[in-house]
């Protein structure tokens, strides 16, 4: 796709002058204006744009907040209150940033599940997918450190619980875990020193994400976008120029997303947070329930489902790391789950498991909650390690349309036989 | 052979999905232990999308804070000037100035020319301090209990959810759609009116009081408002003093103290919503026109 002929024509002498020296406008034109996108993209494909918006919005609101915030144990909580109460429109910027983190994760989870459903991780998009997993990982680290900054009770105790997890590495190599924990803390307990370094990293990591996003988009534009049929673009009629076709959809859905965003910012600013975080951090008082932010709950449930601390930590990180390998764990010949009558059921079971783990993560780790957390944790891993390889081999996919154009116009491919076997049609994943 | 295996696999997948769903259905109502405390949702003027504070209520609420709560609790993230600002009780500036001057808990300022710290009356730009110098003094005076600062109390309290998971999902949707953010106010109100005699057999520790709403039911705070009300409202205050009325009023006042920008937040919220909705409609129309060109190609 990236190899398509450049259609950029400089319209003025200045533009020509620039184009001969630094063809930046040509790059942008070819990547975001004339770039061919499959004509059958549904609205789930608008979340890439929405995520870019989220990143930029978080960086901009974050820069303004950092102008008023003070990263010290004594002043962090006070300065957030100062932003809420005394800075002009500080409450709005702060709500935007705090709610924005949740919105970022809503969008990224939709984006990830879209990729899983339509097989967007399969060849030739493996690198694209792995870059996405890396972005997700850095996002989680950024969000975790950001949640520490208001220095409320949940900030403090969340940091204490999660950083303490690393001490379990002592079980692998004595002293290793303790060393890592002390290194994270900058001392022998969670203190203002910890807060300082978290602030520094919280400011740094979004720019690392931005860099990874550039690579992610680059990889996307080399492989081309996947689409609901999972077929490749074969003819001119399969694709439309990105602008104004894809962009008009992107913009529409960005605004629909913004309606939800603003709904929370202005009417439910505290709904996604914890009341305890309006109490200043106090190392001497432990809150009754220490619960991470909602977007970490499924992984928190996996952590607690394993009876052994080290095992839990390994399982939690494995739950993310395993995503790197699914391009090779999925043995299916077709990309899109739309044409996979059996796998479809397992996909929805997996989605349900993730929601169930999220719910269980918010509950105390006792009684029947632990039992169900174990069941769903088992399925979480079984889905990738057993279902994906086995179902992919055994399942007979439904008949694929002959082309994207056929899929859109309801092509009368039946009986012609040409598209009967997915092997003939889908191509890419097998030709690897 | 392959079809058979496919069918078996499909059946297994469906069965697993059904099992998973039904199994969680019968999950626990309350595995967390301890009987759940039910707290009634009250009707607040500042709740919901169009909520705004009831000015006379904020003024009555401040009176309750001043005459009752301030004996032990500070409000030190709120400044005297805030009491005169739009969106709050909006007392006139002269009376707030007088109030600040007479506030019993003076401001420690300095050092003066001789290098000593000194006490001076509060000004508009000063915070509303409580009576104690620090937590140690507060605990010393109150038998080990610590009366917290009330500036954020409404935001810092909530109602615990004890519903089964399906009710949980339903409630979540309803709360998001109706913009429910008043759990803290509901809780504080329930606490203030929640003092009763302990049920028979309940072991109450020395110096503690029984309260229906408080987690564990043992609270160190004395019942702050007697049944007939703790303060005398003025003729034109808009309400008669009683326990229920005092509790409601001071809760509303503290809700403002926790969230002084609530009114402008909701007002701007609607302006933003209107802009977004109109633009979304326009974008929808634009998208349709643009795609009409390719639909039949």
* pLDDT, tens digit (0-9, with 9 covering 90-100), for A56-69: 999 999 999 999 99
How many angstroms from the chain centroid is the CA of residue B161? 15
Number of domains in chain A: 2
- Best residue in A88, A275, A383, A389 to probe B by mutation, most B CBs within 10 Å? A275
B136 found inside a domain: yes
A249 found inside a domain: yes
In this structure, what CATH number is given to the domain that contains residue B113?
1.10.760.10
Q: How far is B45 from chain A (nearest CA, A)?
A: 15
B268 found inside a domain: yes
A73 found inside a domain: yes
In this structure, what CATH number is given to the domain that contains residue A313?
1.10.287
| Cβ–Cβ gap B265/A266 under 8 Å | yes
In this structure, what CATH number is given to the domain that contains residue A170?
1.20.810.10
Model pLDDT, residue B11: 54
Q: For residues B257 and B150, what is the distance between their CA atoms, to the nearest angstrom?
A: 8
| Cβ–Cβ gap B17/A349 under 8 Å | yes
**Does position A344 have pLDDT exceeding 50, yes or no?**
yes
Instruction: Tell whether residue B90 is among the known ligand binding residues.
Output: no
CA of B275: which chain A residue's CA is closest?
A259
Interface of B with A in 90-119 (CB under 8 A): none
How many residues does this entry show for chain B? 297
DSSP state of A44: G
A15 found inside a domain: no
SS3 B45: coil
A312 found inside a domain: yes
User: Does residue A270 sit in the same domain as residue A301?
Assistant: no
Of A85, A349, A363, the CB nearest to B260: A85
Of A81, A356, A379, the CB nearest to B77: A81
Model pLDDT, residue B294: 84
Residue A51, token pair as written in the block:
């995520």
**Does position A413 have pLDDT exceeding 60, yes or no?**
no
Number of domains in chain B: 1
Section A397-419 average pLDDT: 73
**Residue B127, strand partner residues:** B79
Q: For residues A343 and B59, what is the distance between their CA atoms, to the nearest angstrom?
A: 63
- The mean of the pLDDT values for chain A is 93
Could you tell me if B282 lies within 8 Å of chain A, comparing CB atoms?
Answer: no
**Does position A420 have pLDDT exceeding 50, yes or no?**
no
- A305 lies in which domain range? 297-398
Residue A166, CA distances (Å) to A142, A169, A172, A177, A239 in order: 18, 6, 11, 5, 49
Q: For residues A30 and A7, what is the distance between their CA atoms, to the nearest angstrom?
A: 7
| Cβ–Cβ gap B266/A263 under 8 Å | no
A408 found inside a domain: no
Placement of tokens 């605004």 in the chain = A255
Q: For residues A242 and A223, what is the distance between their CA atoms, to the nearest angstrom?
A: 15
**Does position A360 have pLDDT exceeding 50, yes or no?**
yes
Q: For residues A298 and A307, what is the distance between their CA atoms, to the nearest angstrom?
A: 16
In terms of Cβ atoms closer than 10 Å to its own Cβ (0-12, 13-18, 19+), residue A75 is: middle
**Residue B119, strand partner residues:** B108
B86 found inside a domain: yes
User: Cβ contacts (< 8 Å) between A276 and chain B: which residues?
Assistant: 156
A315 found inside a domain: yes
User: Does residue A311 sit in the same domain as residue A284?
Assistant: no
Mark B232-269 as b/e (b = at least 16 C-beta within 10 Å): ebeeebeeebbbebbbbbbbbbbbbbbbbbbbbbbebb
User: Cβ contacts (< 8 Å) between A359 and chain B: which residues?
Assistant: 165, 168
Section A32-39 average pLDDT: 93
Q: What's the pLDDT band for A416 if we cut at 50, 70, 90? A: very low
Of A255, A263, A349, the CB nearest to B16: A349
Closest by CA position to A35, among listed A255, A217, A293: A217
Model pLDDT, residue A392: 96
**Following DSSP, what letter does each residue of B97-148 receive, concatenated?**
HHHHHH-SSPEEE---TTS--EEE---TTSEE--S-SSHHHHHHHTTT----
Residue A414, token pair as written in the block:
């039946």
* pLDDT, tens digit (0-9, with 9 covering 90-100), for A72-92: 999 999 999 999 999 999 999
Placement of tokens 């503690």 in the chain = B208
B43 found inside a domain: no
CA–CA–CA angle A278, A150, A294 (5° rounding): 75
CB B229 within 8 A of CB B246: yes
pLDDT in tens, chain B (297 residues): 455 555 555 555 555 554 444 444 443 333 334 567 889 999 999 999 999 999 999 999 999 999 999 999 999 999 999 999 999 999 999 999 999 999 999 999 999 999 999 999 999 999 999 999 999 999 999 989 999 999 999 999 999 888 888 898 899 999 999 999 999 999 999 999 999 999 999 999 988 999 999 999 999 999 999 999 999 999 888 899 999 999 999 999 999 999 999 999 999 999 999 999 999 999 999 999 999 988 665
CA of B28: which chain A residue's CA is closest?
A368
User: Does residue A166 sit in the same domain as residue A132?
Assistant: yes
Section A298-326 average pLDDT: 96
* pLDDT, tens digit (0-9, with 9 covering 90-100), for A38-47: 999 999 999 9
Instruction: Tell whether residue B221 is among the known ligand binding residues.
Output: yes
User: Does residue A286 sit in the same domain as residue A325?
Assistant: no
How many residues does this entry show for chain A? 432
**Does position A427 have pLDDT exceeding 50, yes or no?**
no
Q: For residues A101 and A149, what is the distance between their CA atoms, to the nearest angstrom?
A: 13
Q: How far is A375 from chain B (nearest CA, A)?
A: 9
| Cβ–Cβ gap A271/B181 under 8 Å | yes
Residue B37, CA distances (Å) to A185, B21, B147, B158, B187 in order: 38, 28, 22, 12, 10
Model pLDDT, residue B4: 52
Interface of B with A in 199-218 (CB under 8 A): 215
User: Cβ contacts (< 8 Å) between B291 and chain A: which residues?
Assistant: 245, 248
User: Does residue A84 sit in the same domain as residue A219?
Assistant: yes
Helix H or strand E encompassing B76: strand B75-79
B1 found inside a domain: no
Q: For residues B135 and B180, what is the distance between their CA atoms, to the nearest angstrom?
A: 33
User: Does residue A275 sit in the same domain as residue A381?
Assistant: no
- B278 lies in which domain range? 55-288
The contacts of residue A420 (CB under 8 Å, 6+ apart) are A399
| Cβ–Cβ gap B273/A366 under 8 Å | no
Q: What are phi and psi of A410, to 5 degrees?
A: 65, 45
Could you tell me if B49 lies within 8 Å of chain A, comparing CB atoms?
Answer: yes
B107 found inside a domain: yes
B24 found inside a domain: no
CA–CA–CA angle B234, B240, B243 (5° rounding): 115
Model pLDDT, residue B160: 84
Section A232-237 average pLDDT: 92
**Following DSSP, what letter does each residue of A200-262 receive, concatenated?**
HHHHHHHHHHHHHHHHHHHHHHHH----TT-PPP-SGGGEEEIIIIIHHHHHHHHHHHHHHHH
How many angstroms from the chain centroid is the CA of residue A11? 39
The number of helix segments (H) and strand segments (E) in chain B equals 8, 6
Section A221-236 average pLDDT: 94
User: Does residue A303 sit in the same domain as residue A273?
Assistant: no
SS3 A68: helix
**Does position A1 have pLDDT exceeding 70, yes or no?**
no
Residue B137, token pair as written in the block:
């003094």
Instruction: Tell whether residue B69 is among the known ligand binding residues.
Output: yes
Section A195-223 average pLDDT: 97
User: Does residue A97 sit in the same domain as residue A197?
Assistant: yes
DSSP state of A387: I
Closest by CA position to B44, among listed B173, B190, B201: B190
| A124 C-beta neighbours (distance < 10 Å), count | 16
Percent of all residues in chain A with a pLDDT value above 90, rounded to a whole number: 91
Q: How far is B204 from chain A (nearest CA, A)?
A: 21
């Amino acid at each position: 796709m990236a190899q398509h002929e450049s259609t950029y024509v400089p319209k003025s002498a200045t533009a020509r002058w620039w184009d001969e020296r630094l063809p930046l406008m040509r790059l942008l034109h070819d990547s975001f204006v004339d770039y061919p996108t499959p004509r059958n993209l549904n609205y789930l494909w608008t979340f890439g744009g929405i995520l870019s918006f989220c990143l930029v919005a978080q960086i901009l609101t974050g820069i303004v907040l950092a102008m008023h915030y003070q990263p010290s144990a004594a002043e962090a909580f006070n300065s957030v209150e100062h932003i809420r109460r005394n800075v002009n429109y500080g409450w709005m910027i702060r709500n935007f940033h705090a709610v924005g983190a949740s919105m970022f994760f809503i969008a990224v989870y939709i984006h990830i599940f879209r990729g899983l459903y339509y097989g967007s991780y399969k060849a030739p998009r493996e690198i694209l997918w792995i870059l996405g997993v890396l972005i997700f990982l850095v996002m989680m680290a950024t969000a975790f450190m950001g949640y520490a900054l208001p220095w409320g009770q949940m900030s403090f105790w969340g940091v204490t619980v999660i950083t303490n997890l690393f001490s379990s590495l002592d079980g692998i190599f004595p002293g290793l875990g303790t060393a890592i924990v002390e290194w994270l803390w900058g001392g022998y307990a969670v203190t203002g020193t910890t807060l300082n370094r978290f602030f520094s990293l919280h400011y740094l990591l979004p720019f690392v994400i931005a860099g990874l996003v550039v690579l992610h988009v680059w990889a996307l534009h080399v492989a081309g976008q996947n689409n609901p049929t999972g077929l490749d673009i074969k003819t001119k009629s399969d694709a439309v120029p990105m602008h104004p076709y894809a962009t008009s959809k992107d913009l529409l859905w960005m605004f629909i997303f913004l309606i939800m965003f603003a709904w929370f910012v202005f009417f439910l600013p505290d709904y996604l947070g914890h009341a305890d975080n309006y109490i200043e951090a106090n190392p001497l008082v432990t809150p009754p329930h220490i619960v991470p932010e909602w977007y970490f709950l499924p992984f928190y449930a996996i952590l607690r489902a394993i009876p052994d601390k080290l095992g839990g930590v390994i399982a939690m990180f494995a739950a993310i790391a395993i995503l790197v390998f699914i391009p090779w764990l999925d043995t299916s010949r077709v990309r899109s789950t739309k044409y996979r009558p059996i796998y479809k059921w397992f996909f929805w079971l997996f989605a349900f498991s993730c929601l169930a783990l999220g719910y269980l993560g918010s509950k105390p780790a006792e009684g029947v909650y632990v039992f169900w957390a174990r069941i769903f944790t088992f399925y979480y891993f079984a889905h990738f390690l057993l279902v994906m390889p086995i179902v992919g081999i055994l399942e007979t996919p439904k008949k694929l349309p002959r082309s994207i154009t056929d899929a859109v116009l309801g092509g009368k491919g039946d009986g012609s036989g040409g598209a009967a076997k997915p092997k003939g049609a889908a191509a890419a994943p097998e030709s690897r | 052979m392959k079809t058979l295996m496919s069918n078996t696999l499909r059946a297994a997948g469906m069965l697993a999905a059904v099992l998973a769903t039904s199994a969680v259905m019968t999950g626990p109502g309350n595995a967390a232990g301890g009987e759940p405390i039910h707290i009634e949702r009250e009707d607040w003027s500042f709740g919901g999308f169009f909520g705004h504070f009831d000015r006379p209520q904020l003024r009555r609420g401040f009176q309750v804070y001043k005459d009752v709560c301030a004996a032990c609790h500070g409000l030190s993230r709120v400044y005297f000037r805030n009491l005169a600002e739009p969106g709050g009780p909006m007392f006139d500036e002269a009376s707030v100035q007088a109030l600040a001057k007479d506030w019993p808990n003076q401001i420690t300022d300095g050092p003066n020319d001789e290098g000593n710290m000194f006490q001076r009356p509060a000004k508009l730009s000063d915070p509303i301090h409580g009576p104690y110098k620090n937590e140690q003094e507060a605990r010393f005076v109150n038998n080990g209990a610590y009366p917290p600062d009330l500036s954020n109390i409404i935001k810092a309290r909530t109602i615990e959810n004890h519903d089964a998971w399906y009710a949980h999902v339903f409630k979540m949707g309803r709360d998001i759609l109706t913009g429910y953010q008043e759990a803290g106010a509901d809780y504080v109100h329930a606490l203030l009116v929640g003092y009763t005699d302990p049920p028979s057999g309940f072991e109450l520790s020395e110096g503690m009081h029984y309260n229906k709403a408080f987690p564990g039911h043992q609270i160190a705070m004395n019942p702050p408002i007697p049944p007939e009300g703790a303060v005398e409202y003025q003729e034109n205050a808009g309400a008669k003093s009683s326990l229920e009325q005092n509790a409601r009023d001071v809760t509303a006042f503290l809700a403002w103290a926790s969230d002084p920008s609530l009114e402008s937040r909701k007002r701007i919220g609607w302006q933003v919503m209107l802009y977004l909705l109109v633009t979304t409609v326009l974008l929808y129309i634009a998208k349709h026109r643009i795609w009409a060109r390719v639909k039949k190609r």
